[in-house]
């Protein structure tokens, strides 16, 4: 048995050093755990608004973007497409868009803020398929209506304002997402704050 004197300074140093290393280790384990509670960048992006540049969109063209994991269509309608919207309202299930499938500012004949730009979620309201855009051959689906959208799965048909025709499986018009224009060439899909 040794009778050497106890070195209290060394003992204090070892106690403090062990406590510091243990504290750093505990913090190292807690920080990733707490950080895991935050949504991932992918999850944040999935619900984030999407900016769309429409400057190069030509009359009759459709641009597809993704918002919240869903396809969103941006179509620049021609004058003929716009003029045709009034000619077949007697064939539509909800011509006045009374069912809430759109924000208040899009509850009009064109279902849009700017008449020439149509923005809609490209998912059929029947079973969730994605209708096809038929800019020139829709009259084969509905006589006298040259342009529209047709769902190949069960035959639902929508006009160039996304309004559903009668006697098809889809119960309601296509959904119009919240959106606003940041300038003449940029639309923000998923955010309509400040739009009257």
What token pair was written down for 52? 């769309």
pLDDT of residue 31: 61
82 within a domain of the structure (yes/no): yes
pLDDT of residue 37: 55
196 within a domain of the structure (yes/no): no
Shared domain for 50 and 94, answered yes or no, is yes
Shared domain for 8 and 57, answered yes or no, is no
Shared domain for 175 and 110, answered yes or no, is yes
pLDDT along the chain (196 residues), means of 10: 69 78 72 56 66 94 92 95 94 89 91 95 89 91 92 92 94 94 94 77
Shared domain for 112 and 179, answered yes or no, is yes
Which residues are CB-contacts of 19 (< 8 A; sequence separation ≥ 6)? none
pLDDT of residue 162: 95
Shared domain for 111 and 130, answered yes or no, is yes
CATH at 140: 2.102.10.10
Q: How far is CA 126 from CA 35, 56, 94, 120, 162, in A?
A: 40, 32, 15, 15, 13
pLDDT of residue 55: 93
Shared domain for 15 and 48, answered yes or no, is no
pLDDT of residue 185: 94
Shared domain for 20 and 66, answered yes or no, is no
pLDDT of residue 153: 86
Q: How far is CA 5 from CA 8, 10, 81, in A?
A: 9, 12, 99
Report how far residue 53's alpha carbon sits from residue 195's, in angstroms, rounded to the nearest whole number: 19
Q: Which domain holds residue 20?
A: 1-38
pLDDT of residue 21: 79
Shared domain for 9 and 84, answered yes or no, is no
143 within a domain of the structure (yes/no): yes
Q: How far from the centroid of its chain's Cα atoms is residue 39's Cα? A: 18
Shared domain for 25 and 114, answered yes or no, is no
194 within a domain of the structure (yes/no): no
Number of domains composing the chain: 2
Which residues are CB-contacts of 132 (< 8 A; sequence separation ≥ 6)? 149, 150, 151, 152
pLDDT of residue 23: 73
Shared domain for 78 and 153, answered yes or no, is yes
């Amino acid at each position: 048995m040794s009778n050497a004197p106890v070195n209290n300074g060394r003992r204090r140093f070892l106690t403090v050093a062990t406590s510091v290393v243990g504290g750093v280790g505990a913090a190292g384990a807690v920080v990733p755990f707490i950080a895991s509670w935050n949504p991932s960048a992918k999850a944040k992006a999935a619900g984030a608004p999407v900016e769309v540049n429409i400057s190069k969109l030509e009359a009759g063209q459709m641009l597809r973007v993704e918002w919240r994991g869903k396809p969103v269509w941006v179509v620049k309608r021609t004058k003929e497409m716009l003029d045709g919207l009034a000619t077949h309202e007697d064939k539509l299930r909800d011509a006045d868009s009374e069912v809430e499938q759109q924000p208040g500012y899009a509850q009009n004949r064109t279902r849009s803020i700017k008449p020439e730009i149509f923005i809609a979620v490209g998912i059929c309201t029947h079973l969730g398929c994605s209708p096809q855009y038929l800019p020139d051959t829709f009259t084969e689906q509905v006589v006298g209506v040259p342009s529209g959208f047709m769902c190949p799965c069960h035959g639902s048909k929508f006009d160039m304002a996304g309004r559903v025709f009668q006697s098809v499986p889809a119960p309601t018009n296509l959904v119009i997402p919240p959106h606003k224009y940041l300038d003449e060439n940029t639309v923000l899909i998923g955010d309509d704050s400040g739009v009257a």
